[in-house]
């Protein structure tokens, strides 16, 4: 029974870790895209 709880905790912890990474990478990617669009708009305005 103890071994079952151990693996259950490991499973839920790995799912939480994966969700956190997906969320973090998504937020950082969104910020990078916004910055790139801003730079492109500034360059287009200079032409």
What pLDDT was estimated at residue 39?
Answer: 94
Closest C-alpha among 26, 28, 30 to residue 18: 26
pLDDT digits (tens, 9 = 90+) for 6-41: 999 999 999 999 999 999 999 999 999 999 999 999
Is residue 25 in some structural domain?
Answer: yes
Range of the domain at 43: 21-47
pLDDT of residue 14: 98
Which residue, among 13, 15, 16, has the nearest Cα to 5 in the 3D structure?
13
Q: Where are the beta strands (DSSP E) in 5-47?
A: none
Domain for residue 46, yes or no? yes
Q: Give, rounded to a whole angstrom, the gap between the first and last alpha carbons of the chain.
A: 70
38 domain residue, yes or no: yes
pTM over the 0.75 mark: no
If one counts every other C-beta atom within 10 angstroms of the C-beta of residue 12, the result is 10
Q: Is residue 11 part of a domain?
A: no
Instruction: Quote the pLDDT of residue 45.
Output: 81
| Predicted confidence (pLDDT) at residue 1 exceeds the cutoff of 90 | no
């Amino acid at each position: 029974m103890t071994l079952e709880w151990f693996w259950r905790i490991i499973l839920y912890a790995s799912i939480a870790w994966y969700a956190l990474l997906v969320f973090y990478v998504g937020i950082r990617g969104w910020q990078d895209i916004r910055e790139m669009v801003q730079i492109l708009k500034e360059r287009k305005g200079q032409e």
